[in-house]
Structure 1
Amino acid sequence: MKAALVIFAFVVPAQAAVLEVGSGTAFSLPSAAIAAAKPGDTVHIAAGSYRDCAAWTVDDLTIEGENGTVLREAICQGAGIFVVNAPNAIIRNISFEGASIAEGNGSGIRANGQRLLVEHCSFRNNQDGILTANNGGAELIVRDSRFEKNGACLPNKGCAHGIYAGVITRLRVETSHFRDAVAGHYIKSRARRTEVIGNRIEDGDSGRSSYLIDLPNGGALEMTGNTLQKGPRTENPTAAVILGEEGDKRPAGPVTISDNIFRNDGPPTIFVRNDAKSPALLSGNKITGKVRLLVGRGAVD
Structure 2
Amino acid sequence: MSLTSSLLRRARTPLLVLALAPAMSCSVAAKTLEVGPDKTYKLPSAAIAAAGDGDKILIAAGEYFDCAIVPANNLTIEGTGPDASAVMTDKTCGGKGLLVTTGKNITVRNLTLTRARVPDGNGAGIRSEGEGLTVERVKFVNNQNGLLANPTPQGQIIIRNSEFIRNGACNPACAHGIYVNELALLRIENSKFTETRNAHHIKSRAARTEVIGCDISDGPNGTASYEIDIPNGGSLVLRDSRLEKGPKAENHSAAISIGAEGVNQMTREITIANNSFRNAGNFPTTFVVNMTATEAMLKGNKLSGTVEPLKGDGEVQ
Identify whether the pair has TM-score above 0.5, normalized to the shorter chain: yes
- 3-state SS of 2:46 partner: helix
Matches within 5 A, 1:129-278: 129-154=146-171, 157-266=172-281, 267-278=283-294
Structure 1 runs of 4+ aligned residues shifted over 4 Å read none
Counterpart CA distance in 1 for 2:135 and 2:198 is 23
Give the superposition deviation at 1:143.
0.4
Which residue number in structure 2 is paired with residue 8 of structure 1? none
Counterpart CA distance in 2 for 1:14 and 1:268 is 61
Give the superposition deviation at 1:181.
1.0
Structure 1 residue runs of 5 or longer lacking an equivalent are 1-12
Which residue number in structure 2 is paired with residue 5 of structure 1? none
Give the superposition deviation at 1:158.
2.3
Deviations 1:237-268 (A, max 9, x none): 11000000100112121110000011110111
- 3-state SS of 2:47 partner: helix
- 3-state SS of 1:58 partner: coil
- 3-state SS of 1:138 partner: strand
- 3-state SS of 2:91 partner: coil
- 3-state SS of 2:232 partner: coil
Give the superposition deviation at 1:29.
0.2
Distance 1:235 1:34, change over 3 A: same
Letter matched to residue 281 of structure 1: M
Matching residue within 293, 296, 301 for 2:312: 296
Which residue number in structure 1 is paired with residue 130 of structure 2? 113
Letter matched to residue 49 of structure 2: A
- 3-state SS of 1:34 partner: helix
Deviations 1:182-235 (A, max 9, x none): 220000000000000000000111100000000000110110000011000000
Counterpart CA distance in 1 for 2:185 and 2:131 is 10
What percentage of residue pairs aligned between the two structures are identical? 46
Give the superposition deviation at 1:102.
1.1
Which residue number in structure 2 is paired with residue 124 of structure 1? 141
Matching residue within 36, 46, 50 for 2:64: 50
Which residue number in structure 2 is paired with residue 10 of structure 1? none
TM-score in terms of structure 2 length:
0.89
Counterpart CA distance in 2 for 1:272 and 1:158 is 25
User: Is residue 98 of structure 1 aligned with residue 98 of structure 2?
Assistant: no
Matching residue within 20, 32, 36 for 1:18: 32
Give the superposition deviation at 1:78.
0.9
User: Is residue 39 of structure 1 aligned with residue 53 of structure 2?
Assistant: yes
**Contact map agreement 1:274 1:295 (CA 8 A) in 2:** yes
Deviations 1:90-148 (A, max 9, x none): 00000000001111110000001111000000001000000000111111010000000
Matching residue within 69, 74, 77 for 2:86: 69
Give the superposition deviation at 1:14.
5.7
- 3-state SS of 1:169 partner: strand
Counterpart CA distance in 2 for 1:94 and 1:183 is 25
**Contact map agreement 1:191 1:250 (CA 8 A) in 2:** no
* Range with bigger deviation, 157-166 or 114-123: 157-166
The structure richer in helix per residue is 2
Higher gyration radius (CA): 2
- 3-state SS of 2:53 partner: coil
Counterpart CA distance in 1 for 2:153 and 2:126 is 18
